[in-house]
Structure 1
Amino acid sequence: MNQILQNKYAFLIILLILGVLSNLLDELVHRAFTIPNNIWYEIIDVTVMVSVTAPLLYWMINKIRLDSNQIQQAKDELQQIFDTSNANFYSLDLENKKVKVSQGIEKLYGYSKNDFLNNPELWKQVIHPEDKRYVEGFEVCLSTQELKAKTQEYRIVRPDGEIKWVEEHVTPLFNSLGQVVRLNFIMLDITDRKKVEQELNQKREELKISEQNYKTVVDISPIMIVIHQEGKIVYANPKASQIAGIKEPSNLIGTSIYDLIDPSSINTFENMFQDLQEGKLKSKFAEYKLVRPDGDTLIFEMLGTNIFYNGKPAILSVGRDITDQKKMETALRQLAYHDELTQLPNRRFLYENLKKSIARSERHNHKFALLFLDLDGFKKVNDTKGHDVGDLLLIEVSRRLTQCVRDEDVVSRVGGDEFVIILEEILENEVHEVSKRIIKEVSTPYSINDSTVHVTTSIGISIYPHNGKNEEDLINAADKAMYFAKNKGKNNYKIYDPEIENSINSKFEFFEKIINHFRND
C-alpha cells in the first residue's frame, strides 16, 4: 500500500515537471519560429508535448501496474502462509475489530477460526481465571498507549476442559499518531515445559524436605558426625560439639580435626585418613581416643568414609562414644581374668598366658621358669586372726611378690594361698636369685590391724622345656617340687628333677605298707 502511494506521488510530480517542460518548449518554439499565435503554433506545441510525455506516462503506468501486482502477490503469499501454517499466531485489528487466526491457533486453543472471527474477545475469555491479571495489566498498558513488545506466560482453558500453558509474544503496531492500531501475537505451547518445571520444583521441594529431615536427624543424632576437608572441620552436629566440650557446633568450623584426637591415637587416625584419601578403602572403622578441653579422654568407635561436600572431596566421620562400654569390658575382663581379692591374674589368665609363653619360647628358642608357691602357716593365721586378717595378709603377700619380679613377669593367684609366677627369658642362676628374694620378702613379718603376723613360703620350680612342654606338665612338675620343698622343712625352694618322683613314690609305698599292715591286723 505504501508503495502505491509512493508511485502516485511520483506520478503527480512527473506531471508537474511535464507541465513546466511544456511551457518551456512552448516558449522556445515561439521564439524559434517567431510565429504568431495561430493553428500551426498549437499543432507544434501539442506534438512536442505528446512526444515528450507519452513515454514517461507509459513507463509510469507499467511501473505502477508491476508494483501493484508484486504487492498483491506478496499479500496472497502471506495470507496463504497465515491460513495454512501450523504456527501459533493471530493478529487483532483494533480499529476494525477484526481477528486473523492461524491454523496453529485453532489446534492450540481448540476453537475454530469462525469462533475467533465471531467473538474478537474470545482470546481473553479462554484465559484461566487465576491468570486474568495478566490481561488486566495488558489492557491498562493498552489504554494508556504505553504498550511495548512483551512476553508473558499464562494458562488457557480449551473447550474440552484441558488446560494449556502458553507463552505469548505480543508486538503492537502504531499509526502516525502513535496510537496502537494492531496487535500481533505469537503463541508457544509450553505445557510440556511447565510439566517438567513443576516436576522439577516438586523434586526440589521433596529434596528440600528430605534435606530438612536429614538435617533434623543429624542434629538430634546421639552419635558424633563431623565432615572435614584437608584436615579442617567444615561441618559438625550438636553431638560433636557436646563431646568436644564446645558450646556451639559453629565454633568447631575451621578448626583442625587433629585438635580432637588424643596424641596416642594420631598415628591410627592418620593411617585411616591416608587410606581413604588414596582410595585404598571406601570406608574404615577404627577406635580413637578423643581429648576434651578439660583434659578428659573419651574412647570413640568411628567410621570414616569418602564423600563430596559442597562439590569438593571430604571425609565423613561418624563416631559413637564407647568409653562406658570399654570400662564395662575392662571390668568384665578383670572379673574373668583377675582375682577379686588381690587383683592378680587368676587361674584362667595363667593358663592363657602360659600357652603364649610356651609359643614364644619355642619360636625364639629360649627358656622360662614357672614358680609354684604355697604359704606356710597361712591356715593358722586364718584360724587365729580371722578371715579379714587372712585376706589382708594375702593382699600384702601379693604386693611383695609383684615387687620381687620384673614388670613383664606374671604373678597370679591360683588358689587360697597358692601363687604361680612365670619368669620368661631367664637363666637358671637368675631363677635361684629370684626365689631367694621371694623367700626373704615373704618371711618378713607383717603388721596387720595392730597385729604382727608371720608366714613363709615353699616354692617348687619347673623349667621349660626340660621339665615339660605343655601347661599341665609344667604346673604338675612345679607342684611336686613345691611339696618336696615343703616336706624338707618349708621356707625354701626346689627345682624339679626326676629324683623327686622316686622320693614321692617311695613315700607313697611306705604309707601304703603301713595302711596294709593295719588292714591285715
Structure 2
Amino acid sequence: MKFNSQSVVESNVLELVWNNTNEAIFTIGYDGRILTANPSFTAILGWEETDFREDSCFPFFADNSPEEHQKQLTQFKRGHDIPYYVTRRKRKDGIVLDILASYRAINNGEVLAVGMYKDFSEHMNIQRRLQASEDCYRNLVEFIPDAIFVESNGKIAFVNSPGISLVGAKSAQEVIGQSVWQFIRTDDKITLKAKIQQVISTKEPIIERLLRFDGETIWVEIIAMAIVFEGESVIQILLRDITSKKNYDAQLEFLAFHDPLTGLTNRRYFTTQINQAIENAEKKNHMLAVMYIDIDKFKRINDSLGHDVGDQLLKQFANRLKEHVREEDVLCRIGGDEFLILLNGLKDKKKALEIVSRLHKAFQVPYLIDNQRIVATSSIGIAMFPENGIDSKILISRSDAALYLAKEQRNVFQFY
C-alpha cells in the first residue's frame, strides 16, 4: 500500500515536470516516430503529436534529411546517450531556431529514447554578434600599420601582422603565449610596470626600447588600454616604431651642439661645459686649462690643394686631438681651423704641460690625404684656471692671446 502511494506521488511529480518545464521533452519510439511530446515542445516548435503520426522522420530537422535521425536511432538502440550539443531545428511555420539538444537512451517498452530541446536562439545570436564584432576587430587591426597586441592574464592572446613584423617573428605562433613586456629592454621592471599602469589609466604614450628576435634594438611608442576581447577583459597594446624619428631627433640634437664636419662639439656646447667645469673645480680646488689651437698656414693649404683636401685635413686633425687627450676633456671646433680644448680636473700645471707636449709632438707627423704627404704643424695657446682667470670668457680670451704669441714663431705652444 505504501509502495502504491509513493508511485502515485512520483507519477504526479513527473506529470508536473512534463507539463510545466520550459524545455521541450519528447519520447521516441523504435520506429523513429515521436510518441509523446510535452506542451513546451509545441510552444517552442509549433509541432503537435498528431503531426508525427504518419512520418517516421522528424519533419523539424532543418535540412529535411533523415540521415542525422537514422544515425541517432542507431546510437539509441546501442544504449548510447547523446549529450548536449547545439543544432538547428525548424518550427512548423518555417522559422529555423538554434536548439540545445540532448538525448537519453531508454530501451524500455515502446520508448527507445527521451529527447530534450532548449531554445538557444537568443544565446547564439548574442554569440554571433560577439563573433562578428571580434571578426570586425581582427579585420580592422590587420589594416592598421601599427603593431597591435592583445594581452590576457599577462600573455599575448592575439597579434596582428604588423606586430609579428615589429618583433621580427616569422609567425603569430612565435609570439602567442609570451608577454609583450619581455621584448621591452629596461633595467627596472618595477618602474616599467608602474609606467604601463599609468599608460592604461591616462592613455598617454611612453617611449621604450624593444629587442627584436633578430637581436636588433628599436625605439617604440607604447599605448595601452583595457578592452573586451572574446568576452574577456584584456589589455590592448599598440606599439609604434619610432626609431627613425628618434634617430632624426638625436641627429638634430647632435647638430645643435656639434660641428658637422669633425664631429667635435661647437662653441655653444663648449661654453656650457667650461662654466660647469669651473664650478666643479672651485668646489674641489682643482685646476683647469683652456687650449686655443689652430693649424699653421691652413689657408695656403686650403687654397692651393682645394677645399676637399682642407676638409680631410680638418677631420684628421680632429682625430689626432681625440687620440691625445683624456676622456674627460672637451674638444671644440670654433670654426675654420680654430679649436678649443678644455682640460678638466687638473691637480697641477704639470699635467697640462704633459698633455700639450703630447699634442705638439703628434702635430709634427705629416698627414696623408689622397696619397699626398702634407706637412701641417699647429700652434697652441694655453690659459690656466684659476691662475689666468676665473671666468670662462677671460680664460678663452687669454688662451687666444697666448696663441697669438705662439703664432709669431709657429709650431710651438705658449702659456699665457
2:143 corresponding residue in structure 1: 220
Classify the secondary structure of the residue corresponding to 1:393.
helix
Distance 1:343 1:278, change over 3 A: closer
Q: Deviations over 1:243-289 (max 9, x none)?
A: 1222322331113445533xxx2325552125556999766743333
Does the 8 Å CA contact 2:199/2:205 hold for their aligned counterparts? no
Please say if 1:424 is aligned against 2:335. Answer: no
1:412 corresponding residue in structure 2: 332
1:322 corresponding residue in structure 2: 242
Residue 234 (structure 1) aligned to one of 157, 182, 196? 157
1:249 corresponding residue in structure 2: 172
Does the 8 Å CA contact 2:200/2:225 hold for their aligned counterparts? no
Classify the secondary structure of the residue corresponding to 1:382.
helix
Does the 8 Å CA contact 2:329/2:342 hold for their aligned counterparts? yes
1:438 corresponding residue in structure 2: 359
2:51 corresponding residue in structure 1: 140
Letter in 1 for 2:161: P
| Distance in 2, Cα, partners of 1:256 & 1:278 | 18
Letter in 2 for 1:433: E
Distance 1:135 1:474, change over 3 A: same
Does the 8 Å CA contact 2:360/2:412 hold for their aligned counterparts? yes
2:270 corresponding residue in structure 1: 350
| Distance in 1, Cα, partners of 2:283 & 2:401 | 28
Does the 8 Å CA contact 2:220/2:243 hold for their aligned counterparts? yes
1:66 corresponding residue in structure 2: none
Distance 1:392 1:277, change over 3 A: closer
Please say if 1:452 is aligned against 2:363. Answer: no
How far residue 437 of structure 1 moved from its aligned partner, in angstroms, is: 0.9
Please say if 1:485 is aligned against 2:406. Answer: yes
Does the 8 Å CA contact 2:134/2:229 hold for their aligned counterparts? no
Does the 8 Å CA contact 2:199/2:225 hold for their aligned counterparts? no
| Distance in 2, Cα, partners of 1:445 & 1:305 | 63
Distance 1:465 1:214, change over 3 A: farther
Letter in 2 for 1:380: R
Distance 1:319 1:345, change over 3 A: same
Letter in 1 for 2:354: E
Distance 1:203 1:354, change over 3 A: farther
Q: State how 1:44-63 maps to structure 2 within 5 Å.
A: none
Letter in 1 for 2:172: P
How far residue 408 of structure 1 moved from its aligned partner, in angstroms, is: 3.0
| Distance in 1, Cα, partners of 2:372 & 2:237 | 60
Does the 8 Å CA contact 2:228/2:234 hold for their aligned counterparts? yes
| Distance in 2, Cα, partners of 1:301 & 1:133 | 55
How far residue 239 of structure 1 moved from its aligned partner, in angstroms, is: 1.3
| Distance in 1, Cα, partners of 2:317 & 2:202 | 54
Distance 1:138 1:230, change over 3 A: closer
Does the 8 Å CA contact 1:276/1:306 hold for their aligned counterparts? no
Please say if 1:389 is aligned against 2:309. Answer: yes
The structure whose Rg is larger is 1
Letter in 2 for 1:483: Y
Instruction: Say which structure is richer in strand.
Output: 2
| Distance in 1, Cα, partners of 2:204 & 2:283 | 33
Does the 8 Å CA contact 1:269/1:288 hold for their aligned counterparts? no
| Distance in 1, Cα, partners of 2:292 & 2:52 | 111
Q: State how 1:13-32 maps to structure 2 within 5 Å.
A: none
Q: TM-score, normalised by structure 1?
A: 0.51
Does the 8 Å CA contact 2:292/2:380 hold for their aligned counterparts? yes
Q: Deviations over 1:19-70 (max 9, x none)?
A: xxxxxxxxxxxxxxxxxxxxxxxxxxxxxxxxxxxxxxxxxxxxxxxxxxxx
1:300 corresponding residue in structure 2: 220
Distance 1:142 1:413, change over 3 A: same
Residue 397 (structure 2) aligned to one of 476, 499, 511? 476
Letter in 2 for 1:332: L
Does the 8 Å CA contact 1:276/1:282 hold for their aligned counterparts? no
Letter in 1 for 2:51: V
Distance 1:211 1:279, change over 3 A: closer
| Distance in 2, Cα, partners of 1:283 & 1:343 | 39
Q: Deviations over 1:180-204 (max 9, x none)?
A: xxxxxxxxxxxxxxxxx98x99887
Instruction: Single out whichever of 357-366 and 229-238 deviates more from structure 2.
Output: 357-366
CA RMSD between the two structures: 4.1
1:94 corresponding residue in structure 2: none
Distance 1:319 1:365, change over 3 A: farther
- What is the number of equivalent residue pairs in this alignment? 315
Q: Percent identity?
A: 32
| Distance in 2, Cα, partners of 1:201 & 1:360 | 75
Does the 8 Å CA contact 2:313/2:367 hold for their aligned counterparts? yes
Distance 1:445 1:140, change over 3 A: closer
Letter in 1 for 2:336: G
Classify the secondary structure of the residue corresponding to 1:233.
strand
| Distance in 2, Cα, partners of 1:370 & 1:332 | 28
Residue 295 (structure 2) aligned to one of 364, 375, 395? 375
Letter in 2 for 1:416: G
How far residue 434 of structure 1 moved from its aligned partner, in angstroms, is: 0.8
Distance 1:395 1:210, change over 3 A: same
Does the 8 Å CA contact 1:283/1:306 hold for their aligned counterparts? no
Instruction: Single out whichever of 473-482 and 395-404 deviates more from structure 2.
Output: 473-482
How far residue 352 of structure 1 moved from its aligned partner, in angstroms, is: 3.9
| Distance in 2, Cα, partners of 1:331 & 1:353 | 20
Please say if 1:341 is aligned against 2:341. Answer: no
